[in-house]
């Protein structure tokens, strides 16, 4: 158990409203990731973080922002939600990472997911 | 853009049958992982393969990494209903070790009927 929780687990919102999803970890891992999962697309990386206040974009970052003010929390924000952002969102941490380098394997452990519906 | 193509996307078989899931790419990966995901939960790591030609076995599951490190396969022997789930492969491209960014396949949904 990598001690990863996500909140909320389910959310229904309306187009144009802001939404923030939270990922919390208890094991002080340096690297954290946000993915979205849609049928036929597997997992697609939205943003990732390699330390407090150190973040970078993934392949589907448009319409999303992130923040990491403390090691244990990684927040994903949809500034103005759209129906195309209806998805299941997963947070993950890397199994290992010392300094700026992750291990060459980078096994990841995932949270339970947040199901977001934008009407 | 680096891609991992998984096949088949859906597989429905009877208990006791064997099956193979494939994960292919034109890119080379420094390592490749397989995950299993059940409905309503996050993916769970099954195995990591790191050496070209490597074969790893976990009970009835056999994982192989291609010699050229561009492809992998998952073979399940005598499938059981408990094997039902979504299987995902994920590769770590060369040059990504400092970010840890994985490339995921689309997934294979396996249903094993009693």
Which residues of chain B does A43 touch, with a Cβ-Cβ cutoff of 8 Å?
43, 88, 90, 104
Q: Tell me if A68 sits within 8 A of A32, measured CB to CB.
A: yes
* Chain A touched by B28 (CB under 8 Å): no
- Residue count of chain A, please give it: 119
* pLDDT tens per residue across span A72-86: 999 999 999 999 999
* Chain A touched by B30 (CB under 8 Å): yes
> Quick check: A109 pLDDT over 70?
yes
Closest CA to A110 of A10, A33, A19, A9: A33
pLDDT at A104: 56
pLDDT at A100: 44
pLDDT at A68: 96
Q: Which residue of B has its CA nearest to A46?
A: B101
Query: Could you state, in chain order, the average pLDDT of each consecutive group of 10 residues for chain B (114 residues)?
Result: 88 97 93 94 94 94 95 97 96 78 93 96
Q: Give the closest of B88, B92, B101 to A45, CB-based.
A: B101
pLDDT at B95: 75
Query: Among A9, A43, A88, which would you mutate to test the B interface (most chain B Cβ atoms within 10 Å of its Cβ)?
Result: A43
* Chain B touched by A108 (CB under 8 Å): yes
* pLDDT tens per residue across span A3-56: 899 999 999 999 999 999 999 998 888 899 999 999 888 899 999 998 899 999
Which residues of chain A does B101 touch, with a Cβ-Cβ cutoff of 8 Å?
33, 45, 48, 58
Residue B34 phi/psi, 5-degree rounding, is -120, 135
* Chain A touched by B88 (CB under 8 Å): yes
Judged by DSSP in three states, A83 sits in helix
pLDDT at A67: 97
Q: Which residues of B32-50 are buried (b: 16+ CB within 10 A; e: fewer)?
A: bbbbbbeeeebbebbbbbb
Half-sphere exposure of A42 (CA within 13 A, CB side): 25
């Amino acid at each position: 158990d990598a001690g990863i929780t996500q909140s909320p687990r389910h959310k229904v919102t309306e187009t144009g409203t802001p939404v923030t999803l939270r990922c919390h970890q208890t094991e002080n891992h340096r690297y954290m990731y946000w993915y979205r999962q849609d049928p036929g697309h597997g997992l697609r990386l939205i943003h990732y973080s390699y330390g407090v206040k150190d973040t970078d974009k993934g392949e589907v970052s448009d319409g999303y922002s992130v923040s990491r003010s403390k090691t244990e929390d990684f927040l994903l924000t949809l500034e103005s939600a759209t129906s195309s952002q209806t998805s299941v969102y997963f947070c993950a941490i890397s199994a290992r990472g010392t300094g700026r380098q992750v291990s060459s394997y980078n096994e990841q452990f995932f949270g339970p997911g947040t199901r977001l519906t934008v009407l | 853009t680096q891609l991992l193509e998984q096949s088949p996307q859906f597989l429905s078989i009877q208990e006791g049958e064997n099956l193979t899931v494939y994960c292919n790419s034109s890119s080379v990966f420094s390592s490749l992982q397989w995950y299993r995901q059940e409905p309503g939960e996050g993916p769970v790591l099954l195995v990591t393969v790191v050496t070209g030609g490597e074969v790893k076995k976990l009970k009835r599951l056999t994982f192989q990494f291609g010699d050229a490190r561009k492809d992998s396969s998952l073979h399940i022997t005598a499938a059981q209903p408990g094997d039902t789930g979504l299987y995902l492969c994920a590769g770590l491209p060369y040059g990504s070790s400092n970010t840890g960014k994985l490339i995921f396949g689309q997934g294979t949904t396996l249903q094993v009927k009693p």
